[in-house]
Amino acid sequence: MRSIKTTREQLLEVAVGEFARNGFDKTSIRSIAKAADTSPALLIHYFSTKDQLVSEAIVLTLGEWIGVEKAALLENPDSRISDWVALVKSGETKLQFFRQVLLANNEYTNRLFEFALLETKEMLRVGIAAGVIHAVSDIDTAASLLTSQALANLVFLPQLEASLGGSIADEAVATKLMHTQQELMPLIINATEEKANK
């Protein structure tokens, strides 16, 4: 397992943080370079344009997020809530970055949706093969609905948290969300319980 990040990855991480805090319009190559304590020329060397930087940040950040979600899906069902809480707490900047991408409502938003859709289809395939997700007749439509719901939750994250009475990273709120999601969406199941009932 790699623990040392490349310069490119470090710059992307700083950029994600800046975009998450300030949005896309208020974040420039120069402001990212300042936050990274480097020169704008180095960013241009690695990414050529702000557009390329944003595109790579979307792919890298969503890829990392989905990777952790996929691993949590296949882990022990008894630890799913604590895994979710840890994921949200460690990924708050990523979630805010995704929210900024969605609020931008431009080509970045389209790229995020397309990439999230591909990753969701793959997660469904993996979950179905592992027996932790029910098989569906139309995986493309299921992936579209799940992707839309997840991204809509990010757009309305402040309102969602206000209505739930706390941060989604709070264990009580996360527990309530996980249980309710399982009740509302029979697509997602506890494989251990299903096998025990057979």
70-90 pLDDT tens trace: 776 677 666 767 777 777 878
**pLDDT of amino acid 193:** 44
114: pLDDT strictly greater than 90:
yes
Give the phi and the psi of residue 133 in degrees, each rounded to 5: -135, 135
CA distances from 84 to 48, 67, 75, 150 (A): 36, 13, 11, 14
pLDDT tier, 52 (very low <50, low <70, confident <90, very high otherwise):
very high
Domain 59-197: assigned CATH number: 1.10.357
In angstroms and rounded to an integer, the radius of gyration of the C-alpha atoms of the chain is: 18
Band of pLDDT at residue 1, cut at 50, 70 and 90: very low
Q: pTM of the entire structure?
A: 0.80
Task: Give pLDDT, residue 198.
Answer: 56
How much helix, strand and coil, in percent to the nearest 5, is found in the chain? 75, 0, 20
More confident residue, 78 or 91: 91
Report which DSSP code applies to 152: H
Distance CA 33, CA 44 (A): 10
Nearest to 89 by CA among 178, 174, 169: 169
Please check the confidence at residue 197 and state whether its pLDDT lies above 80. no
Mean pLDDT calculated for residue range 151-166: 93
Confidence of residue 91 (pLDDT cuts 50, 70, 90): confident
pLDDT in tens, 122-143: 988 988 888 878 888 899 999 9
What is the chain's mean pLDDT, rounded? 84
Backbone angles phi, psi at 188, to 5 degrees: -95, 125
Burial of 90 (0-12, 13-18, 19+ CB in 10 A): exposed
Distance separating alpha carbons of residues 99 and 21, to the nearest angstrom:
10
